[in-house]
Chains A and B, each alone.
Chain A
Amino acid sequence: EAGVAQSPRYKIIEKRQSVAFWCNPISGHATLYWYQQILGQGPKLLIQFQNNGVVDDSQLPKDRFSAERLKGVDSTLKIQPAKLEDSAVYLCASSLERGLAHGQFFGPGTRLTVL
């Protein structure tokens, strides 16, 4: 079974630029999550999708971050404009259904550096 795919793996941008990350979840997984992991911290949930609907985006900085999951499969996370404090690893995870805390499978992440 193929795992969660993310691209790019690394990205370096200047502050105030925009950036987008892509995630392809495990086939058949209805729930998709985006996490932000700042160096020295644990992952923090930014947004959770159930199919292509948003379940929880309470910790998403909506003035600069946006995410979509078209057709309930792939997802993109965008930052516009980026700030220095957005430097982090952005992790995508998926699970077969909502509520399976132990069933979240994580991708390798995208490491973003904002200069």
Chain B
Amino acid sequence: DQQVKQNSPSLSVQEGRISILNCDYTNSMFDYFLWYKKYPAEGPTFLISISSIKDKNEDGRFTVFLNKSAKHLSLHIVPSQPGDSAVYFCAASAQGGSEKLVFGKGTKLTVNP
């Protein structure tokens, strides 16, 4: 039973364009959501998060949108850069982030120069 789903295994975009990575969840108890970025042979690194009391959070080129009614969140990267090429994991937690993280399978983003 996959509670956090990233249905696109891969995404390819041109440098300078927008990258949109999607994530769906099924557990209504999740109220805190995070995106992690992972380069090969490295551990995941925290990118951006959002609480369920918000519908948008922005940090530089990265924006996360949350649609609670649809149980859907997305990560927007604008403009995309070649250094953004990595695997992006969506993760969710309950109890305001104090419960364990549940990860999706990840989406491999490739940004072409």
Interface positions of A (Cβ within 8 A of B): 4, 40-45, 48, 56, 91, 93, 98-109
Main secondary structure of the interface of B (DSSP, over half): mixed
User: Is A101 touching B97 in the complex (CB atoms < 8 A)?
Assistant: yes
User: Is A42 touching B43 in the complex (CB atoms < 8 A)?
Assistant: no
CB distance from A107 to the nearest CB of B (A): 5
Q: How far is the CA of A84 from the CA of B45 in the complex (A)?
A: 28
From A45, A93, A99, A102, contact of B34 by CB (8 A): A102
Which residues of the other chain, B, contact A40 by a CB distance below 8 angstroms? 105
User: Is A42 touching B32 in the complex (CB atoms < 8 A)?
Assistant: no
Binary interface encoding of chain B residues 21-55 relative to chain A, with 1 for a CB under 8 A from any of its CBs, else 0? 00000000000101000000111111001000000
Residue of B nearest to A4 (CB): B43
Which residues of the other chain, A, contact B100 by a CB distance below 8 angstroms? 45, 48, 56
CB distance from B22 to the nearest CB of A (A): 15
